[in-house]
Amino acid sequence: MGYATTPATYGLSHELGQDLAGWQAFFEQHADPFDGWDSDANLQKWLRDGEWLARRLEEEVQDFADVKREFGVWHDTRS
């Protein structure tokens, strides 16, 4: 979604919009673009929740859009 759009712009349910915002907030709290994730457990939770959200998003937009998952490629690089 672009910066000037909201979940309502795409006809998403309020609940899904709130859950997507929470998922993003979790990312911002636990991941750093330079240092990676604060723990593997938080990375795994974020990935699981992302899959769950992607399935819900697919259900809500199936009549007019395809969902492409790209969030899993952002991972901890501190190894």
CB 53 within 8 A of CB 20: yes
pLDDT of residue 9: 84
- Predicted confidence (pLDDT) per residue in 17-64, tens digit: 999 999 999 999 999 989 999 999 999 999 999 999 999 999 999 999
pLDDT of residue 79: 42
CB 46 within 8 A of CB 23: yes
In this prediction, residues 5-25 reach a mean pLDDT of: 91
pLDDT of residue 3: 66
Distant-in-sequence, close-in-space partners of 35: CB < 8 Å, separation ≥ 6: 78
pLDDT at 4 over 80: no
Q: Where are the domains of the chain?
A: 32-73
Other CB atoms within a 10 A radius of the CB of residue 64 amount to 8
